[in-house]
Structure 1
Amino acid sequence: MHNKSLKHKIDDAVTKVILQESDQSGYTIIESLVAMIVVAVLMSAVAPVIALSVGTRVQARRVELATQAAKSYIDWVRNDIASNTPNLIVVELEDAPAPNSGGLTCNDNQYCTIPAPAIYNDLYCVDGDGDGNCTNDSLTDMVVQGMRRHPNSNDASLGYALGVRVYRADAFQEITLCGPALENPTALCPTRTQQSTITNAIGNRRLPVLQLTTEISPTQSSFQNLCDRIASESGATNNPCE
C-alpha cells in the first residue's frame, strides 16, 4: 500500500514537470508580433535601396539601347543622304519641339508613317524585340527623332548638322512628349532635357533617353561647304576659311 502511494506521488510529480515544460516551450504571441515588426521595419528600410538599384540598372540598359539606336540611325542617313535625310528645321537643334505622340506605326529601319513624316516628325524605328516594327507597348523598341539644320541651304548634299533624340517607343502612349528645356518647366517636362540615369524602374518616359548632335559631311567632300556652314552658324562676318 505504501509503495503504491509512493508510486502515485512520483507519477504526479513527473506529470507536473512535463506540463510545466510544455507550457513554457515555444514563443508567445507577443514575441512573434515583435519579431514580425522588426522584420517589417528592416524590409521598409532596405526596399527603397533595392528599388533604386534595380531602376538604375534598367535605365542603364535603356541608355545602351538608345545609343545603339542613335548610331544605327546616323549610319542609315549617311548611307543614303538623298533618300534618308530628315526635314530641314529653322530653329536651333536644341530648341526643336518634341514630336507628336498618341500613336505609333513604324517598320524597322524606316521612318514611321504614324505620326506622319513632317518637320519635327521624322521618326525612325529601331526594333528591339525582334517583331519587325516599333509599337507603343514595347519596352525595348526605340524611336529616333531626326532633325536637319543648315543656316542657308536646303541642299542636303552640302552637308548639315544632324540632331538626334531617342525616345522609348512606349512613350508614344502619352498625349505629349518633352523636347527642349522649358523656361517654365512642369511636373511632366522638367528642366532637364533627357532622362536621368538614376531613376526608379519606370522613369519619365516623356523625356528622350538620349540626345546628341553630329555632322553629315557634304557628298562631294568639300571642306569649303563645311566651313561656309560653320561660319554662317556662328554669325561670323568674315569666313575664316577664306
Structure 2
Amino acid sequence: MIKPKQQQIPPQSNQAGFTIIESLLAILVVTILMVGVAPVIVLSVATRVQAKRVEQGADAARAYIDGVRSGAVGAPNPPIATTAFSGNAAPSSALPSCPTSNSYCSGSQSLYCVNLDENNGCTSNSNKDLIIQAFRNGVPARPQNGYKLGIRVYRADAFSTPGPLKTMGVDKAKAQTFSAGALDRKSPQFETTTEIAGNNTSLRNLCARLRNPGNIANSCQ
C-alpha cells in the first residue's frame, strides 16, 4: 500500500510586502525631498518670468523708437528743459487713462501704452502691460529738426501703489533679471537714449544737441 506524501506548507516570509512603518518612512523621505527641491523650482520659474519681462521691456522700447523714426508714432511733447536726461524726473505714480492700445495715454504725450494682455488699453492692475515714459529735447514745434529721445519702460502695475517711481539716473535703479526683480515694481524694466534725425536735421542742430553746455568754448556756429 502506497502512503500519500504529506504536502509541506512553505513558511510565510516576514519580509513579504511593506509594513505600515516602512510606508510612512517612504512618504517622509519623499516629502523631505519635495520640500528641499520646491524652493529651487520656484526660484527658477520666477527668474525666467522676470527675465522675460525685462526682455519684453527692451522689445517695447525698440518698437516705440522704430515707430517714432518712421512717423507712425508722434514725437513726445513737451520737450524737457534739462540737457541731462538722467536727471529727468520719473512719471507720477498716478497713471492717467490709457484706453487705447499702443498709443499715448489720455492727456499725455509722454506716457505710451504697450498692451500685452487680452484687455484693450493699459491699466495699473495689469501685470503684463507696459508703460513707456518718453521725453526729448529740441524745439517744441519743430521735431522735424531732430532731437535726442529718452525712453524708460515701466510695468503698468508700478502705478498701482503710492510712492515715487525710480530711475537709473537718480536712484541707480534698474529691474533685475533674476527673481528678486519681480518684487521691484517701481524700477524701470529698460532705459535708453537715442538720436532721432528729422527731415530738416542739420549739422548745427546736431551740434546744439550734442555739445557740452559746460564748455563755453564749445559753440555751434
1:82–1:157 Cα contact (<8 Å) kept: no
Q: Structure 1 stretches of 5 or more lacking a match? A: 184-190
Query: Where do residues 67-106 of structure 1 align in structure 2 (5 Å cutoff)?
Result: 67-80=58-71, 83-91=74-82, 92-106=84-98
2:137 to 138, 149, 155: 149
Let me know the Cα RMSD of the aligned residues.
Answer: 3.3
1:136 to 103, 107, 124: 124
Give the residue type in structure 2 aligned to 1:237: I
Q: If you compute each CA radius of gyration, which structure gives the higher value, 1 or 2?
A: 1
Change (3 A) 1:200 1:27: farther
What is the CA-CA distance between 1:222 and the residue it aligns to? 0.6
Change (3 A) 1:42 1:80: same
1:157–1:220 Cα contact (<8 Å) kept: yes
Change (3 A) 1:230 1:208: same
Q: What is the alpha-carbon distance in structure 1 between the residues aligned to residue 161 and residue 39 of structure 2? A: 27
What TM-score do you get using the length of structure 2 for normalisation? 0.78
What is the CA-CA distance between 1:142 and the residue it aligns to? 1.5
Aligned length: 216
Change (3 A) 1:46 1:65: same
2:204–2:220 Cα contact (<8 Å) kept: yes
What is the CA-CA distance between 1:196 and the residue it aligns to? 0.3
* Structure with the largest fraction of helix: 1
- Percentage of pairs with the same residue: 38
What is the CA-CA distance between 1:192 and the residue it aligns to? 4.2
Q: Structure 2 stretches of 5 or more lacking a match? A: none
Q: What is the alpha-carbon distance in structure 2 between the residues aligned to residue 77 and residue 218 of structure 1? A: 10
Change (3 A) 1:81 1:35: closer
Q: What is the alpha-carbon distance in structure 2 between the residues aligned to residue 219 and residue 239 of structure 1? A: 25
Alpha-carbon displacement from aligned partner over 1:36-88 (angstroms, at most 9, x marks no partner): 33223322332232222212221222123212211222233334499532322
Q: Which residue of 1 aligns with 2:215?
A: 236
What TM-score do you get using the length of structure 1 for normalisation? 0.73
Find runs of 4+ consecutive structure 1 residues off by over 6 angstroms. none
What is the CA-CA distance between 1:177 and the residue it aligns to? 4.4
